[in-house]
Amino acid sequence: MATIINGKDVAASVIAQIKSATADLQAASAVQPGLAVILVGADPASQAYVGSKSKMAKECGFKSVQHSLPEDTRQDDLMALVAELNADPTIHGILVQLPLPKHLDSEKVIQSILPEKDVDGLHVVNAGKLATGDSATGLISCTPAGALILVRQIRGDDLSGLNAVVIGRSNLFGKPMGQLLLSKNATVTMAHSRSRDLPGICATADILVAAVGRPEMVKADWVKPGATVIDVGINRVPAPEKGEGKSKLVGDCDYASCEPVAGAITPVPGGVGPMTIAMLMANTVIAAYRKAGKRAPNF
């Protein structure tokens, strides 16, 4: 039986550290971390995400600001709002909820956020700092940062001698995840849909990270016995056993078959997901500490 990596518990531990760091910063410098979230349009999933982020920011003791803009917002108006937040000294983190409506250029908006306020870790400057090993001034993309904490829960901080395979090469997750594992001395293979013998590559992994967006693609024979499996996939699939028209969330791993083989595994939901919001809060408090000229906490 694998150890089930409970992302909710780990995220709660990170949030407790953030609350403490926030209180310390306010006591020492009278600085309250500020997070601004921008939502364009009325997508129900995006509204739910933004609501949970704003609620968590308040819980952490942050100044929490939410800008809800209409679906037909013009590019210039959105860019003007970002510029305004860039110039606001009480805002340390800016998050633009993706996806944006199709008429807007998301990349242009993201790259207009000051790198030191880019708490999503998506700016090319932050991506470059991660690639060159600069963790002292960069901000790391939230989901891979959270996934690494889950790996460290099982494998410790030094991954020397361990083989890690990341399935997926996206700029949002796969590439930064590979770089984070490298920074902890793992030997990293970046695999993807065009890799030859993908099951064989995965079966060599002491740490297997699946982020491809294909429901239950990773089967038991892809998993090395005793491996740590981090499932980043969130896929909604039909669940007729729950009733007509019902659905359920599953990961990129076939959990039922992989769990008996793995040494440790994240469930879906309740694994990597809770870590993403926790690391968004962590990035915000890190940004606030740096702005105040204080040494930022590590998570």
In the DSSP assignment, the letter for residue 297 is P
DSSP-based three-state secondary structure for 68: strand
Q: Is 63 an active-site residue?
A: no
Give the pair of three-digit tokens for residue 114: 């000051």
The terminus-to-terminus CA distance of the chain in angstroms comes to 29
**Helix, coil or strand: residue 36:** strand
Catalytic residue among 9, 19, 32, 53: 53
Query: Which residue among the candidates 97, 129, 184, 252 is catalytic per the annotation?
Result: 97
Hey, how many other C-beta atoms are within 10 angstroms of the C-beta on 87? Answer: 9
Single-letter amino acid code for the residue at 208:
L
Question: Buried (b) or exposed (e) across 134-172, using 16+ Cβ within 10 A?
Answer: eeeebbbbbbbbbbbbbbebbbeeebeebbbbbbbbeeb
Can you tell me the distance from the alpha carbon of 83 to that of 114, in angstroms, rounded to the nearest whole number?
9
Q: Of the listed 117, 118, 120, 254, which one is catalytic?
A: 120
H runs (alpha helix) in the chain: 7-29, 44-59, 75-86, 106-112, 124-131, 142-155, 174-183, 198-202, 255-258, 273-291
Q: Where are the beta strands (DSSP E) in 99-246?
A: 163-167, 187-191, 207-210, 228-231, 235-238
Q: Indicate if 53 belongs to the active site.
A: yes
Which among 205, 130, 132, 129 has a CA at the least distance from the CA of 167? 205
8 A C-beta contact, residue 33 and residue 58: no
Q: Is 247 helix (H, G, I), strand (E, B) or coil?
A: strand
Positions annotated as catalytic residues are 53, 97, 120
